[in-house]
Amino acid sequence: MTALQGGALALVAVGAPLVVLAREPTRQALCAGVFGTALAILFFIFQAADVALSQIVISAVGLPLMILLAWAKIREDEADE
């Protein structure tokens, strides 16, 4: 294992608990985005460029956006009641 591979693995190992530990949904969505980007770097370093490419867009844009929009809707419904 090269230092680069070890570093990418460590980044993912540190990132995953951070997503769980961020309890506030907005912050958690952003943490999930950053964690997903770390995963994309991991895939790229392990020569899975095809997977890394889709991982970047899904995790950095797609998933956080859906969480944020769902969260905005929930908050608005709570404010209406």
List residues binding other proteins (CB under 8 A).
Answer: 1, 49-50, 53-54, 57-58, 61-62, 65-66, 69-70, 72-73, 76-77, 80
**Of 21 and 72, which CB lies nearer to other proteins in the complex structure?**
72
Distance in Å, CB of 53 to other proteins, minimum: 4
Distance in Å, CB of 23 to other proteins, minimum: 19
Structure tokens at 11: 């980044």
What is the greatest pairwise CA distance in the chain?
A: 56
CB atoms within 10 A of CB 57: 12
